[in-house]
Amino acid sequence: MGEFVSVGYKKKLGEAKNHVKYIAFRERSDGKNYGLFNDRSSNISVNDFCKKLDDKKISHSSVAKIHTVLFSMSGDEWKRSGFVEEDYKKMVRNIMEDWQLKNGKRIDWVGAVHFEDGHPHVHIAIKSTYKDRDGIERRLNMNVKEEREWFRGQFREEKDAIRGPGWYEQEQERRRQMRRGKTRENGIGGNFIKNLFNQIKMRQLEAEHEREVEQLRAQRRAGRSR
């Protein structure tokens, strides 16, 4: 059990747009697309959001075009909690709304739920501008470490709000009982191994995305050389 949250950014416009397309169009096993959602809709246009990134305010090469957030949990926790896809969307919408209220910044973001085996997760892409309380648009900067800790805490709160009071304590007791009934292998606890496995899977997902982006670039270069 545990919350895996990562926060990052994309400075290159092409990489930012490819990331948005990746989280929206990466095919499920049944051939369907994931699609994008935000705080208002579950059917956001990929092209419309990408066009918004062609913004002079964030056009400089040193400025992030989008900020990225990734929320993930183990498939085991997902199943035991009885979560469904709409629960994930509800959690993320609440988290993103709380972030905006906390900071006094109205942001433009999209998300996609990926139900990967063993680690269902949500990708978030945030345009790197915001409107302040007076409606003035400004560049958005995020402290990766601080935001990651805040998002992780909110993620746990949102999960517990849906599962009901006492779920976390019951889960801790269940795990204590499991540990008592199992021997430690090579001095390393099963929870440590599971958490490590989940983190490795996240890294593999990120590496897979980078490979797909590089393949897309190579195809475009080859097309231009013809």
Residues 5-30 pLDDT 10s: 999 999 999 999 999 999 998 655 44
Using pLDDT thresholds of 50, 70 and 90, give the confidence band for residue 148: very high
Q: How far apart are CA 107 and CA 192, in angstroms?
A: 36
- Domain of residue 105 covers 4-225
**45 or 115, which is more confident?**
45
**Does position 218 have pLDDT exceeding 60, yes or no?**
yes
Rg (the chain; Cα; Å): 19
Residue with the larger pLDDT of the pair 127 and 195: 127
Sign for the pseudo-dihedral over CA of 17, 57, 147, 159: negative
| CA torsion, ordered 209, 94, 97, 3, to nearest 10 deg | -50
Tens-place pLDDT, residues 90-109: 999 999 999 999 999 999 99
pLDDT in tens, 178-194: 777 765 554 555 566 66
Per-residue confidence (pLDDT) for residue 169, from 0 to 100: 74
Q: How far apart are CA 35 and CA 55, in angstroms?
A: 23
Domain count, the chain: 1
User: Which CATH number covers residue 98?
Assistant: 3.30.930.30
**What 3-state DSSP class applies to 108?**
strand
